[in-house]
Structure 1
């Protein structure tokens, strides 16, 4: 999950937030990542979910590139996808999981990320 999807390592109080683009539940999930300061975020929903089997993946389109996520996360995004674009925070996408330093620093911010969310959606699976 590295490359231009994550052009910069996050530092300090910066996070990535996901713009979930509208679409039919049968269509591919398309999204866009944007880096923002934690104290200057648009209204967003945080997603708490069961990761599921990490060996079972599905591709989504993120910043115009293929990105593999767990099928359970793709199902959650597909189900939550509205008829217009919405902002979502989901750890597996918003944090570069391949960057240990970034992952460790972002975990320290997760309590605040969840508390600042307009809503927290909990997804246990289909």
Structure 2
């Protein structure tokens, strides 16, 4: 099981956000779901995201990621269009 946490940060001008990498749900075309633990809650993520998170965790240092599949409500067209 991969364990992650969510952190809210500002990307506004003048803020000092951490460097992060963006991952898109559309990349890789992977199918299937895996369970991961985010802040103590089990969520379903795509298999390709799970594989990427496992690889990143083996690097041994924290990484900040913005994952649109997890952080954007894909069923809310207003939210999706604002975030993309």
| Off by >3 Å, runs of 4+ in structure 1 | none
Paired residue total: 78
The gaps in structure 1 that reach 5 residues or longer are: 1-27, 108-126
1:87 to 55, 64, 68: 64
Could you report, residue by residue, the CA deviation over 1:15-45 in whole angstroms, capped at 9, with x for unpaired residues?
xxxxxxxxxxxxx211111222223321112
Task: State the Cα RMSD in Å.
Answer: 1.8
SS in 2 for 1:43: coil
1:63 to 39, 50, 56: 39
User: Which of the two has greater strand per residue?
Assistant: 1
TM-score by length of 2: 0.75
Could you report, residue by residue, the CA deviation over 1:34-92 in whole angstroms, capped at 9, with x for unpaired residues?
22222332111223532422xx1111111210110111111011112231222112211
The correspondence of residues 1-126 of structure 1 with structure 2, limited to 5 A, is: 28-39=1-12, 40=15, 41-48=17-24, 49-53=27-31, 56-81=32-57, 82-107=59-84
User: Which of the two has greater helix per residue?
Assistant: 2
SS in 2 for 1:93: helix
Q: Distance in 1 between matches of 2:22 and 2:51?
A: 15
TM-score by length of 1: 0.53
